[in-house]
Chains A and B, each alone.
Chain A
């Protein structure tokens, strides 16, 4: 039982990270209808910026309180990563809006290749390890939970709260939901569609940057190719939850995290990705539009 709860906690930690990345996929899909393949690499860029900020802090100050360091890393990473995604949207996706459906997918794949190789060229191909930032571990009834995991839960919960407030209560969120339903009508009603889409990309990148910072803090290492696997898992999570649905992305993320850690705990660690992907395929066979996705009805 303790072992099970232990694995549950590990799975939820991983799942929170996937959920944060998955929101970026699902929001962009909901509003523009494209798979933003570069999102995983945006997450990786976020982790690298956090790494560089960490090193700057370490070089400038003798000691910084961990909370302050983490906050600074997160905020700087959010800002710069958002700038990246904003530029990418402007350069690679906006000219192709309204073009045929595979064109933005190909530029997204191209951007993903560009970003990971850009980081490889500029920062080198090696693993980038940092010393552990937080090492406290608490032991509650035989279940050990580390402070790192608690930080991930808290940050994810706070961000999700802010984010759902943003989407459900503010005028920006209303504009987003309107664009999701019908861009032309939203434009007629005075919503600046281009701006709304830009902001969607910025928010998605900021969440991915937080996930990147937390990833760096949790694993203590990052490498240029780290964007792909978490990116694909998060995309899987978004599809599992029903792409376009924001609560679905979070649920899908937690599910994928749980499947992965429970499978590696009870069966074999080698096949954890196979398990995650197989369950995706099985779920989609029975629920063709994901867990919370609305079934699409095509009108003729």
Chain B
């Protein structure tokens, strides 16, 4: 025992020496991993033959970065983290936390000043500094903005933590209004505000909310009932095609087809669930994955009905309950009704509120169901299936209801997706989508609605933001396309977040039945059985 302690002390006392050694190992390993894949690029020459093109410079950079990263981690970060846990010998106090040292009032003021100054002169930056430096200046401005916002959040963290759900819903409701007004102020006209808001409302707002809704729907199956479903996207596809086919062929309205699509998806959930729900854990996972792939194959190959991989286009738009239309040619087009300028943004904002309402409906139903007998049975099933059986819960019907309910919300989201895109094709329903939705549920903390919403915002919003990072072109050269790295970073982020927080962002369990007072149970005290 004593020897173990002394070697520990030795390595803590001389971290730099150890860091050199570890950096060398890391360099060797990364050299081995990357020498062929990064160091040589396969490329087609004029005669269509593959040739190799060496990139030793890039390889050297990658290896050097890995070595430096490992060195910094072992030599500086690890001792720093260890010191953070020790109390000061003189005062007996713990050292100030990293965040409180990072967020200080002078820094905040400096960030504000930089941000405001750069916004004021943003028009003439290119002229003063040249394109390259102006790119850096915009990057600095973005950093200052993020820092200032983060400081505000940090200052009000207790308030935010206590009222998170209410604040979150308020933010989601005012978001489009805020975007339109801010952009109107910046561009100086209302029309400019609407036009500029398209991107922010559509790419960020609607995109994130679709995933929030899907993840909340899947949360019923995975988070509450503990059934691992790898083919959730199949129900999404059923909903989307239900609306696309019935809407284009029979001209039925969205408001009739929305519940119909939900019912159809739920029906498919039961069809799938009935034979397979007696399978356990991972067998269930592979059968649901197979089901998702089968649905996609059928969509691709049943060309008479689904038009194959070409997809279905010209899906009718949603109207405001038939009163206001968003079709430019319709007599009750919104700009004719209210006598305002034409813009595609109205429809996007309407869609934003529609998906927000649908997502909140999912959340509301989940919250209410958790307090009903069936919801309690789901959670009991997740914790211990054998105990459930011995208490007389019919596990098959309980699982079936979870499957069907989850599938129904997938169907709702699917028909919304079809209405928003105006076009569906099997390419939107690949396994990767299922994996992303499942990842959001697990990263958010299974069963926690708030955690899942945060995870969706971080993962989807984060990858969408990469499309906007044009200043990186200045740093890495003009042919650098951040979109290419989008899914790569998404995958890396999944791994990193999971290793950092294995139980997700919110791992507490909020019991719905309690004696005297409600206490959150830490996730580490709960144990999931095999579903």
Contacts from A to B (Cβ < 8 Å)? 29, 35, 37, 45, 48-49, 51-53, 55-56, 59, 80, 83-84, 87, 91-92, 95-96, 99-103, 105-107, 109-115, 117-124, 126, 128-131, 228, 232, 235-236, 239, 243, 268, 270-271, 273-274, 277-278, 280-281, 284-285, 288-290, 296, 298, 300
Least CB distance from B470 to A in Å reads 19
Least CB distance from B382 to A in Å reads 11
Q: Is the CB of A35 within 8 A of B282?
A: yes
User: In the assembly, what is the distance between CA of A289 and CA of B278, in Å?
Assistant: 11
Which residues of A have CB within 8 Å of B41?
Answer: 122-124
User: In the assembly, what is the distance between CA of A246 and CA of B484, in Å?
Assistant: 39
Least CB distance from B491 to A in Å reads 3
A113-B491, A119-B37, A236-B290 as given contacts; A273 in contact with B502, CB under 8 Å: no
Among B44, B294, B491, B528, contact of A274 (Cβ-Cβ < 8 Å): B294
Counting residue pairs across A and B whose Cβ atoms lie within 8 Å, the total is 181
Q: Is the CB of A99 within 8 A of B290?
A: no
Answer whether residue B283 sits at the interface, using C-beta atoms and an 8 A cutoff. yes
Answer whether residue B82 sits at the interface, using C-beta atoms and an 8 A cutoff. no
Which residues of B have CB within 8 Å of A130?
Answer: 50
Q: Is the CB of B499 within 8 A of A45?
A: no
Q: Is the CB of A110 within 8 A of B286?
A: no
Query: Which residue from chain A places its CB closest to the CB of B430 in the assembled complex?
Result: A228
Which residues of A have CB within 8 Å of B386?
Answer: 298, 300
A102-B446, A110-B495 as given contacts; A124 in contact with B293, CB under 8 Å: no
Least CB distance from A44 to B in Å reads 11
A96-B498, A123-B42, A288-B280 as given contacts; A106 in contact with B438, CB under 8 Å: yes
Among A110, A280, A290, contact of B439 (Cβ-Cβ < 8 Å): A110
A59-B52, A96-B499, A101-B530 as given contacts; A284 in contact with B438, CB under 8 Å: no
Least CB distance from A75 to B in Å reads 13
Q: Is the CB of A49 within 8 A of B439?
A: no
Which residues of A have CB within 8 Å of B290?
Answer: 236, 277-278, 280-281
- Segment at the A interface, from B28-36, B162-170, B344-352: B28-36
User: In the assembly, what is the distance between CA of A113 and CA of B493, in Å?
Assistant: 10
Binary A-proximity of B425-437 (CB < 8 A = 1, otherwise 0)? 0000001100100
Q: Is the CB of B297 within 8 A of A281?
A: no
Answer whether residue B21 sits at the interface, using C-beta atoms and an 8 A cutoff. no
Answer whether residue B126 sits at the interface, using C-beta atoms and an 8 A cutoff. no
Q: Is the CB of A106 within 8 A of B498?
A: yes
Binary A-proximity of B294-335 (CB < 8 A = 1, otherwise 0)? 100110110000000000000000000000000000000000
Q: Is the CB of A56 within 8 A of B52?
A: yes
The 5 closest A-B pairs by CB, nearest first: A110-B494, A113-B491, A114-B491, A277-B290, A117-B488
User: In the assembly, what is the distance between CA of A129 and CA of B49, in Å?
Assistant: 8
Which residues of B have CB within 8 Å of A129?
Answer: 50
Q: Is the CB of B297 within 8 A of A274?
A: yes
Answer whether residue B190 sits at the interface, using C-beta atoms and an 8 A cutoff. no
Among B33, B286, B442, contact of A87 (Cβ-Cβ < 8 Å): B33
Number of interface residues of B (CB under 8 A): 64
Least CB distance from A48 to B in Å reads 7
User: In the assembly, what is the distance between CA of A300 and CA of B388, in Å?
Assistant: 13
Which residues of A have CB within 8 Å of B37?
Answer: 45, 48-49, 52, 118-119, 122-123
Which residues of A have CB within 8 Å of B498?
Answer: 96, 103, 106-107, 110
Besides A49-B37, A114-B492, A273-B294, 17 other CB < 8 A contacts? Answer: A52-B42, A52-B52, A87-B29, A87-B33, A100-B502, A103-B503, A106-B438, A109-B438, A110-B492, A112-B491, A113-B435, A115-B491, A121-B485, A122-B37, A131-B49, A232-B431, A281-B275
Question: Can you list 25 pairs linking A and B with CB atoms under 8 Å apart?
Answer: A49-B37, A55-B51, A59-B51, A87-B33, A103-B498, A105-B228, A106-B494, A106-B498, A109-B494, A110-B490, A113-B432, A113-B488, A122-B37, A123-B41, A128-B42, A128-B50, A232-B293, A236-B286, A239-B283, A239-B286, A270-B300, A271-B297, A280-B290, A296-B280, A300-B386
Q: Is the CB of B283 within 8 A of A29?
A: no
Q: Is the CB of B287 within 8 A of A280?
A: yes
User: In the assembly, what is the distance between CA of A56 and CA of B37, in Å?
Assistant: 12
Q: Is the CB of B488 within 8 A of A121?
A: yes
User: In the assembly, what is the distance between CA of A270 and CA of B302, in Å?
Assistant: 9
Which residues of B have CB within 8 Å of A280?
Answer: 286-287, 290
Q: Is the CB of A273 within 8 A of B50?
A: no
User: In the assembly, what is the distance between CA of A14 and CA of B36, in Å?
Assistant: 27
User: In the assembly, what is the distance between CA of A235 and CA of B276, in Å?
Assistant: 17
Least CB distance from A274 to B in Å reads 5
Binary A-proximity of B490-531 (CB < 8 A = 1, otherwise 0)? 111111001100110000000000000000000100011010
Least CB distance from A29 to B in Å reads 7
User: In the assembly, what is the distance between CA of A84 and CA of B498, in Å?
Assistant: 20
Q: Is the CB of B431 within 8 A of A228?
A: yes
Query: Which residue from chain A places its CB closest to the CB of B432 in the assembled complex?
Result: A113
Binary A-proximity of B453-488 (CB < 8 A = 1, otherwise 0)? 000000000000000000000000000000011011
Choose among B290, B293, B435, B488 the residue with the greatest number of A CB atoms under 10 Å from its CB. B290
Answer whether residue B443 sits at the interface, using C-beta atoms and an 8 A cutoff. yes
